[in-house]
Amino acid sequence: MKALKSIFVFAIFTFYSSISLADVHTTKYLIFVENGKQAGEQIVQRDDNGLTKVHFIFKDNGRGPELNEEFRLAADGTMSDYSVKGNSTYGAVVNESYSRKGNQASWTSTSETGTKTIDGAALYVPLNSSFEIASIAISALSARADNALPLLPTGTLAQVKVGQLEVVKGQQKQMVQLLSQTGIGLSPNFMWATIGEKPRLFALIVPGYMRAIEEGWEANGDAMLAVQKAAENQVLNDWARQLQHPLNGLTVVRNARIFDSDKAKVGAPSDVYVLRGRVTAILPAGSPTSGAEAEIDAAGRILMPGLFDMHGHVGRWEGGLNIAAGVTSVRDMGNDNTQMQLMLDEVAKGVLLGPQVVPTGFLEGESPFSANHGFVIKTLAEAKNSIDWYAQHGYPQLKIYNSFPKEILKDTVAYAHLRGMRVSGHIPVGLRAFEALDAGYDEIQHINQLMLNFLATPKTDTRTLDRFILPAEKTAALDFESKQVKDFIARLKAKQISIDSTLATFSFLRQRDGSVNEPFATIADHMPPDVKRGFSVGTMKIDDEITHQRYEKSYAKMIAFVGLLYKAGVPLVAGTDELAGFTLHSELALLVKAGLTPAQALQVATRNGAIYTRTQNDRGSISVGKLADLVLVDGDPTKDIEDIRKVSAVITRGFLVYPNEVHKTLGIKPFVTGVPELKALKQNSK
């Protein structure tokens, strides 16, 4: 930690010394993660010559970006020149610049080069940047009567005021405003700004994750959070009301071909009856109807049980993405505990559009590399207290993380088992996967954690980026026929250790700048332009073609390893840890690439999901008495796994949701056109 601080101080000194002799005006923001630990800062320096320099650093969970920016503003408040250099979250080199001369704009980065002729104001959106870009947007938008600003390379940013608050620092007081911006990303962006002729960023709060607040005003964070949550609630509640169509009374889904998740095959056409969120009857298609008040004609579509994403970090804004993808259950693998309790309540009440969440208790150890949510502990007593809290709040599983003290791992796992909880996670630093099995793990997260079992040594610091670099560098040369590998697979099978490989997530290990990351290639053209653009940004430091080819081979072998596990009888679950909804579909496609049939991959995402969340009495298959978590799909995903993206309707928690409505709300091009309509029926006489 001391060495890290020394490097940071030197970087800041160098940064300061490069400022010209003109008067300099400095604004400093402190960045905190949700448990109150400072994880970064942003220093903005403006001189009287019109030059602004920004130093931005954020480190959480052993990773994070560090960036240096310089820019000048044009008369309209947008940037005339801009450059940023540094490193991204996973160490990729950031080197991006933009310039506008007259009506000609040009930009270049490690992943793209572009030019455009423009008239009037337009704000360039960097691929990697500090929060100061938001400050520029706030000021430029405030000067426009229509509150809309064209973006480069494409798009339009809009801004509205949704709240305000008086904040206090000692004897100082000022009013700040809460703004909502739309046009970048898949949900509104909320930020706090000063009030006046040229407003600028005052604070940026992501509930349940982080706060960036102007230095000295940090004590106002909770008050700002309360106002922001109220504003967010209004939007989220409106979405839930507009996009969830209640199924009132007995509803029949006619002429649907049910996917049998136990047998991994599609059955004969059937009529499925739903009442109060549960399946009440399943009859052959065309059977006489008695008492149904509404019907949905499936027209021969395949009816899937709701899918499980077994590795989410659930947020309030992504629920629509999950539901629209047919994901009706998500196992959350680590969250802010207060935020999680809020979301569980909101989904249960129907005021938040989202899947049913199975929460996993997150348990981390104290270190400079800690992930800072859930509970961060130092002692066995603290670990047991945390487990007690999770058990009392209905968490069926515990997740151990990188910095957890290895000396108390076995006793911690035993106590969690005593409280009736499954235990999974990353492998704590200083241990390898086989030692986690010795300690009693029931499941292992991520393909890299499996590979590190063979590649790491007890001295490897797996809290750093080495946990990604080492598997990318060395898996290509790993001999899967070796005794070490075969013995490990045999042990996983014997203990029936479930594996949450998140293959789609780890595609980033071999992605080069400028190429679309494979899991998003199929959906890229459906996304808003700025989201699509982000799919081509590499995150690993890949300097040359030789390194790229080695990383490609390593990733291919990781996929093959998951296939070996399945063939050996090791249970798999399907999780994302990435863009909600869409990445689960990509995960299933990669399971097929690993050697599973499409039907077997669907079985992993349905039956196995229920088994390893201990919800099989309610979910995972379509049968009488179970929850009516039902997904109508165009095409046949049991033959072509890509057809799982063609979800036309979803029933869950007593609501009908049309994915095309959700996607239009989020600016996404729908994947299906015609949808099965809900129609009222005349009451039949008894």
All residues at 6 or more sequence positions from 307 whose CB lies less than 8 Å from its CB, including other chains: 325, 326, 327, 328, 329, 574, 584, 605, 606, 609, 631, 644
Find out whether 480 and 539 touch, Cβ atoms under 8 Å.
no
CA distance 660 to 602: 22
Looking at residues 598-623, what average pLDDT do you find? 98
All residues at 6 or more sequence positions from 556 whose CB lies less than 8 Å from its CB, including other chains: none
CA distance 97 to 83: 4
- Confidence label for 543 from pLDDT (cuts 50, 70 and 90): confident
382 has a pLDDT exceeding 90:
yes
| Torsion angles phi and psi, residue 16, rounded to 5 | -60, -40
pLDDT value for 684: 52
pLDDT value for 197: 87
Largest CA distance in the chain: 90
CA distance 197 to 174: 14
pLDDT value for 98: 97
Per-state percent for the chain, helix, strand, coil, to nearest 5: 30, 30, 35
Sign of torsion, CA 326 330 336 338? positive
Among the ranges given (61-65, 137-141, 568-572), the one the predictor scored with the smallest mean pLDDT: 61-65
CA distance 631 to 301: 10
Find out whether 90 and 70 touch, Cβ atoms under 8 Å.
no
55 is written with which tokens? Answer: 């130093």
Q: Is 286 exposed, middle or buried (0-12, 13-18, 19+ CB in 10 A)?
A: exposed
Residue type, 184: I
pLDDT value for 10: 35
CA distance 97 to 84: 6
Residue type, 211: R
Percent pLDDT > 70 in the chain is: 96
pLDDT value for 555: 98
Looking at residues 426-442, what average pLDDT do you find? 97
Span 248-293, pLDDT tens digits: 999 999 999 999 999 999 999 999 999 999 999 999 999 987 789 9
458 has a pLDDT exceeding 60:
yes
Please name which of 595, 581, 578, 560 lies closest in space to residue 506, comparing C-alpha atoms: 578
Report how far apart the first and last C-alpha atoms of the chain are (Å, whole number). Answer: 76
527 has a pLDDT exceeding 90:
yes
Span 6-35, pLDDT tens digits: 333 333 333 333 434 457 799 999 999 988
> Degrees (nearest 5) of the Cα angle 235, 241, 245?
150
Rounded to the nearest integer, the mean pLDDT of the chain is: 94
| Torsion angles phi and psi, residue 242, rounded to 5 | -80, -35
pLDDT value for 22: 53
pLDDT value for 5: 36
All residues at 6 or more sequence positions from 106 whose CB lies less than 8 Å from its CB, including other chains: 98, 99, 100, 113, 114, 115, 116
- From the CB of residue 141, how many other CB atoms can be counted at a distance below 10 Å? 23
581 has a pLDDT exceeding 50:
yes
CA distance 118 to 104: 6
534 has a pLDDT exceeding 90:
yes
Span 310-320, pLDDT tens digits: 999 999 999 99
Per the listing, tokens 């081979």 go with 553
- From the CB of residue 427, how many other CB atoms can be counted at a distance below 10 Å? 31
What domains sit in the chain, N to C, each tagged with a CATH number? 22-242 (no CATH), 247-305+620-686 (2.30.40.10), 307-619 (3.20.20.140)
Please name which of 357, 325, 349 lies closest in space to residue 654, comparing C-alpha atoms: 349
Span 474-491, pLDDT tens digits: 999 999 999 999 999 999
623 has a pLDDT exceeding 90:
yes
Residue that wins the pLDDT comparison between 649 and 459 = 649
